[in-house]
Amino acid sequence: MRWVPSSNVLRAPVAAVLIAAAGLGVSACALTQNDSEVDVVAGKQLFVERCGSCHVLNRAGTKGVTGPNLDQAFQQAVKDGMGRSGIRGAVRSQINAPAIESQMPADLVKGDQADRVAAYVAQVVARPGEDTGLLATAVKEAGGGEPAVAKGGTLEVDADPNGQLLYVTDQARAEAGDLTVRSKNASSTPHNIVIDGKGKGQVVQGGGVSEFEASFDAGKYTYYCSVQGHRQAGMEGTLTVR
C-alpha cells in the first residue's frame, strides 16, 4: 500500500477529519469504535504483508522506501492534537479512496481487513518503543534464520512469506561449482533474487520462484532483491562459497 497523505488532512483538527471522512462514506461510528473491538493483531499482519513494502512504520518493523514514512507523516498531526480515532478515520478513508497523487490502488484491503489495518496503524503510528503482548509476536521476525545451505547443486533462499522486505536468512553457504540459485516468494509483494555478475531471477509473487544458474568460484557474493527500494530496505544477504 503506497499512501501519500494530504498535509491538510494530517494537520486538520479531529472534527475536520470526521467531516472529510463522512464525505467519503465512512461513518462516525466507525471512526470512534473502540480498538479493542477490532482485531489489531490481524491488522498488523495485514499491514506488514500489504503495506510494509512501501511504508515505514516503526512498531510494525516495516522499512518500505517508495511511500511516505507513516510515523513522520503523522508526527506533527499528533502534536497538533489529532486523536487516535481521527487518525484511524483518516487512514480508513485513504484506503477507501486513495488520493489522486497516490500510487496506492483502491481497496488494497477491504471491509473488515481495512478496518483492522486502520485500527492498528492508528494505535501505533508516531509512538516510540515497540509493540507488546500479542502484537509483539504477531509477525515472525524475518532475516535472522539459519544460513541456507546448498544441496545437490541448488541453493534456496526464500523471500519472507509475510511480505517483509527481507529474505528468510541473510546468510548462505555453497561449494564451488555450478549452482542453481532459487528464491520462492509466497507473499503478494513482488521479489526476485540477484547476484551481480552471476544472474538475475525474474520478479515473482504469490508462490512463484525466482531463479538463475551460474558457476561460482570460492569467495563471498551478495544476493539481493532488485525491485525498487527493496535492497535499500535491507533485502540482501551474503553467500559464502568454499
CA pair distance 66, 56, nearest whole angstrom: 9
| Residue-level pLDDT at 3 | 52
| Residue-level pLDDT at 148 | 97
| Residue-level pLDDT at 178 | 98
Coil, strand, or helix at residue 23? helix
Domain ranges in the chain with CATH number 1.10.760.10: 7-137
CATH of domain 148-241: 2.60.40.420
Q: Which amino acid is at 157?
A: V
pLDDT (tens place) for every residue of the chain, 242 residues total: 555 444 444 433 333 333 333 333 333 333 334 445 799 999 999 999 889 888 999 999 998 888 899 999 999 999 999 999 999 999 999 998 887 777 787 778 999 999 999 999 999 999 999 999 999 999 887 777 899 999 999 999 999 998 889 999 999 999 999 999 999 999 989 999 999 999 999 999 999 999 999 999 999 999 999 999 899 989 999 999 99
Yes or no: say if 45 and 117 are a contact pair by the CB < 8 Å rule.
Answer: no
Phi, psi for residue 39 in degrees, rounded to 5:
-80, 85
CA 231 to chain centre: 13
| Residue-level pLDDT at 21 | 37
Q: Which residues, in sequence order, are CB contacts of 76 under 8 Å at separation 6+?
A: 10, 11
| Total residues belonging to the chain | 242
Yes or no: say if 162 and 49 are a contact pair by the CB < 8 Å rule.
Answer: yes
| Residue-level pLDDT at 36 | 57
Task: Read off the DSSP letter of residue 67.
Answer: S
Q: Going by DSSP bridges, is the β-strand pair 62-63/148-149 parallel, antiparallel, or unpaired? A: unpaired
Q: Which amino acid is at 125?
A: V
| Residue-level pLDDT at 33 | 40
Nearest to 237 by CA among 218, 216, 226, 221: 221
Nearest to 226 by CA among 183, 191, 180: 191
What's the topology of domain 7-137? Answer: Cytochrome Bc1 Complex; Chain D, domain 2 (1.10.760)
Q: How far is CA 146 from CA 157, 164, 171, 182, 230, in A?
A: 11, 17, 8, 17, 21
Domain ranges in the chain with CATH number 2.60.40.420: 148-241
